[in-house]
Structure 1
Amino acid sequence: MLTPRTTPLALLAVAVLLSSGCAPSTGGAVQATAPAAVPAASQDAAFDLDKLIAAAKAEGSVTVYDSSGDIEDVAKAFTAKYGITMEGVKSDSPETAEKMTREHAADNVTIDATMFEDGGVLMGQLIPQNIVHTWIPGDLKADIPEANQNPLLALSKATIFAYNTVLSPGGCPVKNIWDLTEPEWKGKLVMQDPLGKPTVLSFLTQLDAHGNPGLEQAYQARYGKPLETKEKSAAYEWIKRLAANEPVLTGSDEDISGAVGPAATKDVKIGFMSISKFRNNEEKGYKQAACTGMRPFTGFSYPKYVALATKSKHPNAAKLYAHFIMTEEGVKHEIAEGGVSGNSTVKPLVTPEGLNDWGADLFHTDSAKLLGDFQNRQVVSDFWRVNHG
């Protein structure tokens, strides 16, 4: 199913521009302005979990927005553990950002915390404008790598290249990321539209920020000669060629899985989809597997950060939620189908078939480059739009 060119990101652009008093511009992505300084993460001087639980119970409830429906299972577990009513609401990052921006401006906050995938908007907009803030549980700080602390990385998921094992019993028919730019794969890659999916757009900006060496090496391996391009970088050259090769754009990973995975499918396609959709192998009898060994990576990991609303009416319950999601007991509901906790002591539960090494097989988001994501997304969005036609 094709998605319209005006995407939910446009809604966030309106919210951003309203907050700055500017008129909205055209286009489907946020107009990046010079971001304000990002404050340091906060933590309680003397953390006491029992006191926090008591204070949270006195507040009585907490509401958390998340881009995944898994938040409903997290909410049930949180409520069962603490006796505090938690509402988990599934909402895409652009809509969540818009709602939190408007609520903050109106002093009418209903969202206490968010599990937020769009790190660029988080670090370039929501945190600098004090709409949300990062809080680190004091008793878990030593278990959270410093690079994961601001913003607070709750977990990482992944989007990977996948194929149908019935149609390609010898393994993934695509061995190199540059293969997808060749004529034989025209119209055969199914992926989410970057203009409507912040994690895919962030992947493209991050690819230019620190993925060019890998792309250049993969090109050399594929064609036996160095890449020559008039574009800014290898990343831009790959983006241009991929977009021009007419990938099928969808609005959901479920649509991608449905196009690639069914056993009765006759047309060979490659899906660029969330690892969560590998559950369709068991639930629907699909025949999906990761493109193991694909150069220079099988896919990319994307972070999900936990941030607390600055004007929350349930600040202690929000903190308790942040503590809960940074433990195995809380995060297991989010990573049950694949993923890695931001807490180094929590071990991965499962990886999809064909994804053998989370660290080596994936291209990873660099949290230090999230502001670059925010500043460069309009350029990358326009570049994609022009070349996809």
Structure 2
Amino acid sequence: MRPTKKIVTVAALLSLAACAPSTGGQAGTLNAEAEPLPSASVDAAFDLNALVEAAKKEGSLLVYDSSGDIEEVAKAFTAKYGIAMEGVKSDTPQTAEKMTREHAADNVTIDAAMYEDGGVLMGQLIPQGIVRTWVPADLQDQILPEDRNPLRALSKATVFAYNTKLSPGGCPVGNIWDLTESDWSGKVVMQDPLGKPTVLSFLTQLDSHGNQALEQAYQAKYGEPLKTEEKSAAYEWIKRLAANEPVLTGSDEDTSGAVGAPAATDRKIGFMSISKFRNNEDKGYTQATCEGMEPFAGFSYPKYVAIAAKSKHPNAAKLYVHFIMTEEGVKHEIGEGGISGNSTVKPLVAPAGLSDWKGQLFHTDPRSLVADLQNRQIMSDFWRLNHR
């Protein structure tokens, strides 16, 4: 007997995306161009005190996040409002899958979530009505219009980092093409792109708006224009990097340990989240961003916050969104470096070697995140083909 099809899961949608051509959409596939999202909701008669009282009556809150920092956010939220909040660290794909299934079963436990994978959020979860965007009315003027739907809680960064103890004179590489040379074979440590959506998105974004910078960096290093049989400079760099035997890890923590731990004796370049710079203080690591690296020292990406459409604690979820959009809430997420989605919240610290967020980083274009999702399988296959 054929089972009844109740829901198209995130995994199934990713499979559809894998079948889609990179140049456009087909029936039954994700479109390369993002469809307009449902409007973000803003309560016309917003009253923060009334929201707090309504949230207290609901009694509890569950929020998922890809960062363990959510546990500190939860402690601060509970201390401030007296509402029991649980923060759970969960990889974005697993969070999206769980929220999709809970929505279909009308058995929602996750009230809100933080999403680093903007493609899944904008291409699947919001259009399907699984989650929704709510913007605090009293903070609306502090949030740029382009950051309101979906609501960007903050931006984070992944950077090329080195061990300052082993290289006291500064980063031993000054050009991104250096990482493709034999001198660095087996000495670049990074999360496997196939398991890290933000890194995979970075690779696809390089092809969409990073080719000129890559070509200029190649010219600066080798003194001649890049010649390639690949579709672009981005694909050529990705191919060379993958073939240069990078060491792939399952977490940024493992990458940080391989690069900056006190016991490290071999110089390596790590590609890791700036959040791992906390290890310098917590564990005695010696690591810093490759400052001055051309054409950029890493990439920034947005992290969004959304509420489950069928949340059983909708007011508590709204109060959490309000909290994370203030310095009091977001400081636990940007403690080691990051940019709040609230324009009035200033960066708390400058990560070692990353003094110019705007100038040193390649910046993810949110308008391309749905296209990233569609092209994800194409890039995954290309990486698999070239990684030894």
Can you list the C-alpha shifts for 1:304-339, whole angstroms capped at 9, x where unaligned?
100110011111111111011000011011111111
Note if 1:16 corresponds to 2:10: yes
Contact 2:17 2:29 (8 Å CA) reproduced: no
The whole-number CA distance in structure 2 between the counterparts of 1:282 and 1:275 is 13
1:324 is matched with 323
Residue type of the partner of 1:327?
T
2:361 is matched with 362
Q: State the Cα distance separating 1:233 from its structure 2 match.
A: 1.3
The whole-number CA distance in structure 1 between the counterparts of 2:8 and 2:286 is 41
Can you list the C-alpha shifts for 1:103-155, whole angstroms capped at 9, x where unaligned?
01101000000011100111111111111111111111111111211111101
TM-score (norm 1): 0.91
2:97 is matched with 98
Q: State the Cα distance separating 1:344 from its structure 2 match.
A: 0.5
Q: State the Cα distance separating 1:256 from its structure 2 match.
A: 0.8
Contact 1:32 1:376 (8 Å CA) reproduced: no
The whole-number CA distance in structure 2 between the counterparts of 1:164 and 1:229 is 33
1:10 is matched with none
Are residues 277 and 18 of structure 1, via their aligned partners in 2, closer, same or farther at CA, if it must alter by over 3 Å? closer
Are residues 249 and 317 of structure 1, via their aligned partners in 2, closer, same or farther at CA, if it must alter by over 3 Å? same
Q: State the Cα distance separating 1:274 from its structure 2 match.
A: 1.0
Contact 2:10 2:96 (8 Å CA) reproduced: no
Can you list the C-alpha shifts for 1:275-306, whole angstroms capped at 9, x where unaligned?
11112112222111110000011111122100
Q: State the Cα distance separating 1:264 from its structure 2 match.
A: 3.5
1:381 is matched with 380
Are residues 25 and 375 of structure 1, via their aligned partners in 2, closer, same or farther at CA, if it must alter by over 3 Å? closer
Q: Equivalent residues in 2 for 1:220-235 (5 A)?
A: 220-235=219-234
Can you list the C-alpha shifts for 1:362-386, whole angstroms capped at 9, x where unaligned?
1111111111111111111111111
Task: Mark the runs of 5 or more structure 2 residues left unpaired by the alignment.
Answer: 1-6, 20-27
1:165 is matched with 164
1:156 is matched with 155
Note if 1:352 corresponds to 2:351: yes
Secondary structure of the residue that 2:167 maps to in structure 1?
A: coil
Note if 1:73 corresponds to 2:83: no
Contact 2:17 2:30 (8 Å CA) reproduced: no
Contact 1:65 1:114 (8 Å CA) reproduced: yes
1:209 is matched with 208
1:33 is matched with 30
Contact 1:132 1:310 (8 Å CA) reproduced: yes
The whole-number CA distance in structure 1 between the counterparts of 2:46 and 2:347 is 27
Contact 2:17 2:377 (8 Å CA) reproduced: no
Contact 1:301 1:363 (8 Å CA) reproduced: yes
Note if 1:238 corresponds to 2:237: yes
Return 322-331 or 42-51, whichever deviates more.
42-51
Residue type of the partner of 2:305?
V
The whole-number CA distance in structure 2 between the counterparts of 1:23 and 1:177 is 33
Secondary structure of the residue that 1:166 maps to in structure 2?
A: coil
Contact 1:41 1:135 (8 Å CA) reproduced: yes
Residue type of the partner of 1:99?
K
Residue type of the partner of 1:16?
V
2:199 is matched with 200
Contact 1:147 1:367 (8 Å CA) reproduced: no
Note if 1:290 corresponds to 2:280: no
The whole-number CA distance in structure 1 between the counterparts of 2:382 and 2:221 is 24
TM-score (norm 2): 0.92
Secondary structure of the residue that 2:236 maps to in structure 1?
A: helix
Percent identity of equivalent pairs = 75
Secondary structure of the residue that 1:123 maps to in structure 2?
A: helix
Task: Please provide the CA RMSD for this pair.
Answer: 2.0
Are residues 24 and 167 of structure 1, via their aligned partners in 2, closer, same or farther at CA, if it must alter by over 3 Å? closer
Note if 1:58 corresponds to 2:57: yes
1:274 is matched with 273
Secondary structure of the residue that 2:248 maps to in structure 1?
A: strand
Secondary structure of the residue that 1:104 maps to in structure 2?
A: helix
Q: State the Cα distance separating 1:40 from its structure 2 match.
A: 2.0
Are residues 368 and 101 of structure 1, via their aligned partners in 2, closer, same or farther at CA, if it must alter by over 3 Å? same
Are residues 309 and 197 of structure 1, via their aligned partners in 2, closer, same or farther at CA, if it must alter by over 3 Å? same
The whole-number CA distance in structure 2 between the counterparts of 1:17 and 1:249 is 23
Deviation beyond 4 Å, 4+ runs, structure 1:
17-20, 22-26
The whole-number CA distance in structure 1 between the counterparts of 2:129 and 2:257 is 40
The whole-number CA distance in structure 2 between the counterparts of 1:219 and 1:388 is 21
Contact 2:16 2:30 (8 Å CA) reproduced: no
Q: State the Cα distance separating 1:19 from its structure 2 match.
A: 7.7
The whole-number CA distance in structure 1 between the counterparts of 2:12 and 2:351 is 42
